[in-house]
Amino acid sequence: MKVFSQNKHCPSQVLFAFDEVANPSVEQVRFAVAYSTYRGCNRLVERLTSQIGTERWGQISKTFVTSLDFGLTDPSALEYLDGLANSEVFIANPEVLNNDAFRPSKAYHPKLFLFDSPDNTGYLTGSANLTESALISNTELVMVGNEIPENISWQNVWDRNFIDSIPLTSELVEAYRSRRVRPKQRPVDPDPEIPQPTTTHTDNPVFIDAITSGQVLPMTYNHFWLEAGSMSSGGSGNQLELPRGANKFFGFLHDDYGDEHITIGNPILTIRDKSWTDRPLTWHGNNKMERINLPTVYQGGYDYRHTALLFRRHENGFEIKITPWGNANSQAWRSASEELNTVLRLGSRGTRICGFF
């Protein structure tokens, strides 16, 4: 079992946690969650599809149980989940449709995500609802694993989530939508807008200056993100230009920045269940940048162009994550780095930025 702790200084951890249990061997997913929003559902499905595979995701059985309690679930989220291939959606506490402000007599409040494979059931449970803010920016704590906890039957646990639940119908969605007014009595949980980073590029220190002065110590951070840009320096779109001094995040101590082409070392890179030890991190004296050739799409990597690319330190190396540049996920990474004063320019001439958290 692993524990993932998320807050504004360390965002996206809940979303990352799902990578531990989502893989092509999954035959069924079962989610029971108190509140769901369209953006949260869409964000998680995008992540699961990238991990499991688009075709495989369409094939597997999907069961979702969520509630209408307090009117916090989006009607559009219900329609989105119901529209997925091989999907069934159930509504807990359907009687709240008849209650003022959809107040339940007993709230439906689980947060359980099960991933059933032939040999085991992967699980994620904790505090996170199925909202974008819970996946990316809220202060949350989740536990994830594949082993069977002692004295636990996942089937018995799951069956308890169906008490007083009914299948979703279009009539139920319309009745809910027609009466839904977000209550004024309590804060609205779903998807608060993530603040845009305020630092401008010209305000940011240059990477090598910041680490040379001791303002930023790369080895003390577990996450290092970069604006990937066009990735046009290599024919395969996988040649990532890194700032001078980036090697120190990966545990190297290279500081010979002359005119030669030097191999600094081979960090262990991981994506999902794959690992690479043949990706040399090099110094190129001609353009005064460090460089690493990342795994291509054909090799099990990503299309890195115009993304925010993140290296996450873990016990088996450095995991690569990507997200579109400028979306809520990358904005959360930038905001976390702003809080820590670690947003840096890659060099003195370009506009690309990077950061640590």
Predicted local confidence at residue 294, as pLDDT: 96
Strand partners, 3: 143
Please classify residue 198 by burial: count the beta carbons closer than 10 Å to its beta carbon, then call 0-12 exposed, 13-18 middle and 19+ buried. Answer: exposed
Predicted local confidence at residue 232, as pLDDT: 79
| 38-52 and 75-82 helices, crossing angle to 10° | 30
Listed range (145-149, 251-255, 300-304) with the worst mean pLDDT? 145-149
Predicted local confidence at residue 338, as pLDDT: 94
pLDDT at 305 over 80: yes
How far lies 233's CA from each of 254, 309, 323, in Å?
23, 16, 20
* pLDDT, average across residues 98-127: 95
The fraction of the chain above a pLDDT of 70, given in percent, is 93
Instruction: Identify residue 206 by its one-letter amino acid code.
Output: V
How far lies 324's CA from each of 19, 148, 215, in Å?
18, 35, 28
Strand partners, 92: 67, 165
Predicted local confidence at residue 325, as pLDDT: 94
Q: How far apart are CA 234 and CA 94, in angstroms?
A: 56
Please write the tens of the pLDDT for every residue from 160-198: 888 889 999 999 999 999 999 764 544 444 444 444 444
Q: Report whether 27 contacts 61 (CB < 8 A).
A: yes
pLDDT at 151 over 80: no
Q: Which two tokens stand for residue 318?
A: 């450095």
For residue 11, the surrounding DSSP H or E stretch is none
Q: How far apart are CA 98 and CA 257, in angstroms?
A: 71
Which carries the bigger pLDDT value, residue 235 or residue 160? 160
* pLDDT, average across residues 251-267: 92
Q: Which of 341, 342, 98 is nearest to 225 (CA)?
A: 342
State the pLDDT confidence band at 201, using cuts at 50, 70 and 90: low
At 321, give phi and psi (nearest 5°).
Answer: -125, 150
State the Rg of the chain over Cα.
Answer: 22
Predicted local confidence at residue 349, as pLDDT: 85
Strand partners, 4: 142
* Helix, strand, coil percentages, rounded to 5, for the chain: 30, 30, 45
Predicted local confidence at residue 172, as pLDDT: 97
Please write the tens of the pLDDT for every residue from 88-104: 999 999 999 999 999 99
Please write the tens of the pLDDT for every residue from 43-75: 999 999 988 999 999 999 999 999 999 999 999
Predicted local confidence at residue 182, as pLDDT: 61
Could you tell me the domains of the chain?
A: 2-179 (3.30.870.10), 201-356 (2.40.330.30)
Alpha helices for 132-281 (secondary structure H): 132-136, 154-160, 170-179, 207-212
Please write the tens of the pLDDT for every residue from 311-320: 999 988 999 9
Q: Report whether 87 contacts 117 (CB < 8 A).
A: no
Predicted local confidence at residue 198, as pLDDT: 47
Alpha helices for 25-151 (secondary structure H): 38-52, 54-59, 75-82, 132-136
